Amino acid sequence: MNFIKKQAAGSWLTFIALIVAAVSLIVYRVNIGSEGYFKNASVPYSVNYCIAGIVALAVVLIMGQINVSGIAKWVGDICSGILRIAAPAVFIGSLMVLISSRIEGFAFIYMSNEEVLHEVQTAENLASAHGTIANMILLAVAAVISMVAAFFSLKKKDKAN
Amino acid sequence: MKARVMQNVMRGISSVTASVLALSVIGTGIADSYRKNLDDTLHTTSYVTATDTGNAQYVSDYATIEDMADAAKNIAIKEGEEGTVIMKNDNDVFPLSETGTVALFGLAAYAPYPYNAGDLRAGNEDSVDLRQALKDAGLTVNETIEDFYMNKFMNPHEVQTENQWTGQIETSIGYDNIYNTNVGDMEDFTISEIPADRYEEFGAPTDWKDSVDKENTTAICVFARPGGESNTYGTDTAVNFAGEKTGKDPLALSEDELSIIDAAKETCSKVIVLLNTGNAMGISEIAEGGDHEVDGIAYIGCINDYQCTGIVNVLTGKVNATGALTDTYVVDNNSNPAVQNFGGDYYSDYEIVAANAENGYDSRYPNTDISNDISASSFGGGAATYNGGQYIVEAEGIYVGYKYYETRYYDSIANPDSNASSAAGATQGNTWDYDKEVVYPFGHSLSYLDYEQTVKSVDVDLSEDGDTTAVVEVKNNSDQDGYFLAQLYVQQPYTEYDKENNVEKSAVMFLNSAKVNVAAGESEEVTITIPTKYLASYDYTTVKTYILDEGDYYFTAASGSHEAVNNILGAQGKTTKDGMDENATGDVMVWNENKELDTTTFATSNGTEVTNVADDADLNYWTGEDTVTYLSRQDWDGTYPVNYNKDVAVTLADSPKKDEWIQTLQGKQYTIQTDDPATEGGDQDVRFDTDNIQDEQKTNIDDPYWDKLVDSITIDESVGAVIHGGSQSDTLTNVENPIVTQNEGVNGFKPAYTDEKTGKTYHFNVSSQTLLGSSFNPDLAHEWGLIEGNTGLWLGVYDVWGTGLTQRRTPYNGRNYEYISEDPMLTNRIGYGIISGCNEKGILNGPKHIGFNDQEHNRSGVSAYMNEQKMRETDLRCFQGALEDAKGLAVMVAFNRIGATNASHHTGLLKTILRDEWGYTGVISTDMMNNGYYFSPEAMIMATVTQVADFGGNDNHINLGDGGVDATWPYISEKTVKNDATLVNQARENLKYQLYTFANSAVMDVSTEKVNTWWDNALKAIRIISGALTVVCVLGWLGFYVTARKKEEE
């Protein structure tokens, strides 16, 4: 079997989760770099968690392609499994920290009194809020996909075995 | 094979449960931080308040909720009765016959402003609007016009909106067409009143005019101007019904509105206009001599649930008219010197304040670019900015409203050398003429019943805490018993010393007022008292303290400032031959027992030397030259304000104090020290409870108990609790004080009371600030304060931002509906009444927003420059009655800067004047902490702020941010503040003020206990279950993995 055909659903889903999480980071960077309410409002812990999740998934994918045996396989499989369990939780952590830091801003933008809405619901602020919401959705999607991925093997079982 | 599948399943479930665990653990922290907001949204209760009813110091005066509601309703009706101002009454248009017919014109006649419940209106089921009140009084309302407005044009209907967070359906009233309720921020403002010639186009019958029995119908036209937080009117931003910009003043009656008046005049025998607003409107067209003159004009303020009943009681003469105008009504607001400097603009080189690679970084924020642009929103967010790029100069000095118009009028007659008649400031010709500029003066008040008010005696106690007491005789010349308003005015001497030292004096000053019932043909004496200190003036240039001039003080009682100044001119021998527009109609009492300039009596206050604290609020301090010329009655022509944004270029770089100016604008009022370790707090074995707090502790903030108590607060909590004041005051470790939540709003407590027995909901925010002001009755304000306090006790909430006392510097402030008047002393006395009433019930009622928050435009950073006489005698005097004289328990600070200094950083204002001179020991809260680069925590602590109004809940700590630093200000951490004993001790001192205030309030009667809500329990259950499942599933996964591996190896 060639490399592609060897990959099982777990690998593909993990890869997709990794990409989605990476995209969420890009959206985050664009969001805090653009005019609007959340400009420059960095959330380092959220980023750190997200990067940790991405690294964990990358490590999982790499380890999944390395053929080892004996005690190395035992250790590798357990580490990979723990990372696959932890990665979605880390993404959830990233999401929750982001939510925590954005609640006040969302409250201002969406829940202010009618007479001040003109001041807070500017095009820039709404675009900024939408960017943050996209960021959150991407993190949530990354978490869900990586959770689903954890239900599947990374590689198809070698028929020779 | 089976084991391999199972290990995948167990791994998958583990990932799900671990994620749920992460979600619940972090979610619990978030929920805890926003507990109050969650409780409000989910209708849960996290803190159970227990009242020690047997020993409670403060108990409600009302035994049942029905009694409480009736009392609140009665006060609201009285506000309508006492606050309605009859401004014009020709052809006996007032009072209306209770059996007569009226035709209602104008959108606000059918939906007076504000028409929906919210911040401004309570929304009780039994509320009464104007149309209903007229019908209840027995009047017949023309049905054709009513049908057109209500059913064809406005079409009121319920609007149901789903709360996006709770999913609850919320119902409000909507209209197909209604007046504009959104002023915006100096933006175009559409006056959406349908002109009369388009009625038929929108469904009125072609013969609608024929439906009116002209001879027997009086037209009532009601026009509204709204307000709102962060709203400011532009000066020429009006847009008409057709959507065309007219370039006119949005506060002036529009052509469309005037067309309605013309149609009303055509179809009805008499026409009345009611002004439904908190902003003084431009109404010269309908006043005496105007092209659209009407028979009657009345001011009805911004109504609430029940005021319309009282308003109609005045319109129909059921009660005598006793309200008076809180503001001067002028032909053209451009004649107002304060309007010359309004809104503001940028310094020519404001960018040099920015922190960046070119200018150098701010040491508190290394390598962070911080601009000095004005943020688009006062609600925070956006790029980092000090928000200090713009300024205004309040060059009019003390001459706000009538103090300008009446003083200039007086000088045009008594002091012709003052150039009072010059063209400067004239809008109606080449010379300044009072009668051409002013339509109705401050205090203007027409009574239905003829009466006289005469000052019979004046007693001035010249001690520091002495009172001035005037006895005013009110003589009822009519044949009916009645209720009457007496207004007391004074003219202080304007001496050579004043002229030489730039001490400005208004030619007439309102002092106080009172109301009295007088039987027909009889007289009653009413005593009016004010603290004598308000007769003194502030000399900011020479002796730099309050002075009381020698000379004649002219006291008079009059129906308005103009009548008062004419009385004074008459007493000084002037008549119409000298240019007066009317001869004196009342007497004057002269007091002249102060024989020499007194620079000492009022130079100390509460043991504190009174001297300048805000030299740097004067722009001239920074420029080093006479950049600003303050308006002076010595030369009205030469000192009339220019616009200090357009006519003068202010360049920071040219200042001899450039670096100091930049540092001030950057909010660096205090530098955290590194070499003075603070003492860590620890349990001192004292608590905030009735065992420890007895009368001696309640009456003496210097009692050792208080120091011992706050010494027990840790460094982390002492600083954290102040700079994260949030929406509630949290329990402090080792102190165990009750939780105190803060509440809006300006018309009374916003939270509602639901009677568990009947299910009926009662709203108690039923007051109207506008009508309370125009009642001119501090006793009524006191009655309302008592009601507000009682409702707090019923609701079980003890802290409310429950009145607005900022001076109405111009008519354009969109928040004037929350404030009382253009006059400091009227605001001072009404504030005194409200706060003293609330204090009697132990409720913390904090007036908003001390310190020149007199425009909403750029409120969160604009610098308001002024001299210290203005600072002390205008906006601060508005608050002095409530905070010093009534011993207020709370106050909210202005958003803007005073000079270049954030008002919340201003130690001169908050520590020296408020705490030391006024002896104020209450709570000081900032306005919304929306921008960490504008609000500096260390500066706010040193200014004795007790709570910075961020939006967190349970966040008494400074170590909740990334890496243990503060979550908002990363340069603040336990590590950085622990070596500054001055800062930490001041934070403890500030908390002492807060706890001392609680001890002297109804908070002392209660204890709060944290209870778990359903969502607390749910989160806890999720944490436990997901944690347990994670462990089990991970072990299961490992077990199946080992089994599968062994089988594979076999």
Tell me the pLDDT tens digit for each residue of B986-1025. Answer: 999 999 999 999 999 999 988 777 789 999 999 999 999 9
Q: Domain-by-domain residue ranges, chain A?
A: 3-149
Any A CB within 8 A of B355 CB: no
Q: Assess if residue B355 is contained within a domain.
A: no
**Counting every residue, how long is chain B?**
1050
Contact state of A78 with B1041 under an 8 Å Cβ cutoff: yes
- Closest-CA distance, A2 to chain B, in angstroms, reads 23
Any B CB within 8 A of A107 CB: yes
* Per-residue tokens: B468: 């001035």
Report, in this order, helix, strand and coil percent for chain B, each rounded to 5.
35, 20, 45
Whether residue B826 contacts residue B509, with contact meaning beta carbons closer than 8 Å, is answered with no
- Closest-CA distance, B19 to chain A, in angstroms, reads 4
CA angle B778, B779, B785 (to 5 degrees): 90
- Closest-CA distance, A58 to chain B, in angstroms, reads 17
Predicted confidence at residue B1008, as pLDDT, reads: 73
The whole-angstrom separation of Cα B442 and Cα B406 is 9
Any B CB within 8 A of A79 CB: no
**In 3D, which of B424, B576, B584 has the Cα closest to residue B491?**
B584
The conformation of residue B910, written as its DSSP 8-state character, comes to I
In this structure, are B599 and B734 located in the same domain? no
In this structure, are B735 and B785 located in the same domain? yes
Contact state of B1038 with A103 under an 8 Å Cβ cutoff: no
Q: Assess if residue B52 is contained within a domain.
A: no
Contact state of A88 with B380 under an 8 Å Cβ cutoff: no
| Chain B residues with beta carbon closer than 8 angstroms to that of A8 | none
The whole-angstrom separation of Cα B73 and Cα B76 is 5
Any B CB within 8 A of A74 CB: yes
* Per-residue tokens: A128: 């900024």
The whole-angstrom separation of Cα B348 and Cα B333 is 27
- Closest-CA distance, A67 to chain B, in angstroms, reads 15
In this structure, are B38 and B142 located in the same domain? no
| Chain A residues with beta carbon closer than 8 angstroms to that of B22 | 89-90, 92-93, 96
> With bands split at pLDDT 50, 70 and 90, how would you rate the model's confidence at A158?
low
* Per-residue tokens: B18: 């671990």
Helix and strand totals (H; E) in chain A: 6, 0
Could you say which of B19, B383, B962 has the minimum Cβ distance to residue A89?
B19
In this structure, are B9 and B105 located in the same domain? no
| Chain A residues with beta carbon closer than 8 angstroms to that of B172 | none
How far from A78 is each of A8, A72, B18, B1042, CA to CA, in Å? 18, 10, 16, 10
Predicted confidence at residue B1, as pLDDT, reads: 57
The conformation of residue B535, written as its DSSP 8-state character, comes to G
In this structure, are B877 and B939 located in the same domain? yes
**In 3D, which of B566, B537, B267 has the Cα closest to residue B441?**
B566
Task: Summarize pLDDT for B651-671 with one digit per residue, the tens.
Answer: 999 999 999 999 999 999 999
CA angle B755, B757, B758 (to 5 degrees): 70
In this structure, are B42 and B108 located in the same domain? no
The conformation of residue B607, written as its DSSP 8-state character, comes to T
In this structure, are B886 and B779 located in the same domain? yes
Torsion, Cα B424 B428 B429 B432, to 10 degrees, reads -40
Q: Assess if residue B1029 is contained within a domain.
A: yes
How far from B450 is each of B475, B481, B570, CA to CA, in Å? 9, 11, 21
Interface with A, mutate which of B4, B15, B32 (most A CBs under 10 A)? B15
Residues 176..205 of B with a Cβ closer than 8 Å to A: which?
A: 181-185, 187
Any B CB within 8 A of A31 CB: no
Which of B613, B631, B652 is the C-terminal boundary of a domain? B613
The conformation of residue B299, written as its DSSP 8-state character, comes to E
Cis peptide before B156 (omega within 30 of 0): no
Any A CB within 8 A of B6 CB: no
Contact state of A116 with B34 under an 8 Å Cβ cutoff: no
> Sign of the C-alpha dihedral, residues B144, B148, B150, B156?
positive
- Closest-CA distance, A85 to chain B, in angstroms, reads 4
Could you say which of B15, B29, B229 has the minimum Cβ distance to residue A85?
B15
Interface with B, mutate which of A104, A106, A136 (most B CBs under 10 A)? A104
Could you say which of B29, B229, B384 has the minimum Cβ distance to residue A116?
B229
In this structure, are B993 and B1027 located in the same domain? no
Residues 804..833 of B with a Cβ closer than 8 Å to A: which?
A: 814
**In 3D, which of B330, B353, B339 has the Cα closest to residue B252?**
B330
Any A CB within 8 A of B162 CB: no
Closest residue in chain A to residue B953, using alpha carbons only: A104
Any A CB within 8 A of B50 CB: no
Q: Assess if residue B425 is contained within a domain.
A: no
Which of B320, B337, B367 is the C-terminal boundary of a domain? B320
Contact state of A89 with B229 under an 8 Å Cβ cutoff: no
| Chain A residues with beta carbon closer than 8 angstroms to that of B383 | 35, 39-40
Please report how the helices B561-571 and B402-414 are oriented relative to each other, as an axis angle in degrees rounded to 10. Answer: 20
Closest residue in chain A to residue B181, using alpha carbons only: A115
The whole-angstrom separation of Cα B879 and Cα B848 is 9
| Chain A residues with beta carbon closer than 8 angstroms to that of B14 | 85, 150
In this structure, are B838 and B935 located in the same domain? yes
Closest residue in chain A to residue B962, using alpha carbons only: A45
Contact state of A38 with B231 under an 8 Å Cβ cutoff: no
Task: Summarize pLDDT for A50-68 with one digit per residue, the tens.
Answer: 999 999 999 999 998 888 8
* Residues in chain B where the model's pLDDT stays below 50: none
Could you say which of A87, A93, A113 has the minimum Cβ distance to residue B119?
A113
Secondary structure class of A57 (helix, strand, coil) = helix
- Closest-CA distance, A19 to chain B, in angstroms, reads 19
| Chain B residues with beta carbon closer than 8 angstroms to that of A91 | 19
Q: Assess if residue B996 is contained within a domain.
A: yes
Could you say which of A39, A85, A112 has the minimum Cβ distance to residue B18?
A85
Any A CB within 8 A of B597 CB: no
Which of B569, B588, B613 is the C-terminal boundary of a domain? B613
Residue-number span of the structural domain to which B774 is assigned: 713-1009
B698, burial (CB in 10 Å: exposed 0-12, middle 13-18, buried 19+): middle
Overall domain count for chain B: 4
Contact state of B165 with A118 under an 8 Å Cβ cutoff: no
In this structure, are B171 and B265 located in the same domain? yes
| Chain B residues with beta carbon closer than 8 angstroms to that of A53 | none
- Own/partner contacts of B252-257, CB < 8 Å, gap of 24 or more, are B252/B281, B252/B282, B252/B283, B252/B285, B253/B223, B253/B281, B253/B282, B253/B283, B253/B285, B253/B286, B253/B292, B254/B191, B254/B193, B255/B195, B256/B191, B256/B193, B256/B194, B256/B195, B257/B106, B257/B191, B257/B193, B257/B221, B257/B223
In this structure, are B925 and B777 located in the same domain? yes
Predicted confidence at residue A160, as pLDDT, reads: 42
Predicted confidence at residue B1050, as pLDDT, reads: 76
Whether residue B419 contacts residue B412, with contact meaning beta carbons closer than 8 Å, is answered with no
Rg from Cα positions in chain B? 31
In this structure, are B892 and B984 located in the same domain? yes
Could you say which of A77, A84, A103 has the minimum Cβ distance to residue B34?
A103
What is the CATH number for B158? 3.40.50.1700
Contact state of A113 with B229 under an 8 Å Cβ cutoff: yes
- Containing B638, the helix (H) or strand (E) segment is helix B636-639
The whole-angstrom separation of Cα B96 and Cα B314 is 9
The whole-angstrom separation of Cα B821 and Cα B226 is 16
How far from A29 is each of A26, B933, B963, CA to CA, in Å? 5, 22, 21
Closest residue in chain B to residue A85, using alpha carbons only: B15
Contact state of B18 with A41 under an 8 Å Cβ cutoff: no
| Residue B385: Cβ within 10 Å count | 22
Q: Please, how many CA atoms are within 13 Å of residue B649, restricted to the half-sphere of its CB?
A: 5
Closest residue in chain B to residue A9, using alpha carbons only: B8
Contact state of A150 with B11 under an 8 Å Cβ cutoff: yes
> What pairing do the DSSP bridges indicate for beta strands B947-949 and B844-848?
unpaired
Q: Assess if residue B698 is contained within a domain.
A: no
Contact state of B381 with A37 under an 8 Å Cβ cutoff: yes
Interface with B, mutate which of A80, A84, A110, A115 (most B CBs under 10 A)? A115
- Containing B350, the helix (H) or strand (E) segment is none
- Phi/psi for B540 (5° steps) reads -90, -5
Q: Assess if residue B920 is contained within a domain.
A: yes
Any B CB within 8 A of A69 CB: no
Contact state of A97 with B26 under an 8 Å Cβ cutoff: yes
CA angle B590, B594, B600 (to 5 degrees): 145
Any A CB within 8 A of B23 CB: yes
What is the model's pTM?
Answer: 0.91
- Chains A, B: CB pairs < 8 Å: 149
Any A CB within 8 A of B1043 CB: no
Any A CB within 8 A of B959 CB: no
The whole-angstrom separation of Cα B999 and Cα B695 is 10
Q: Assess if residue B798 is contained within a domain.
A: yes
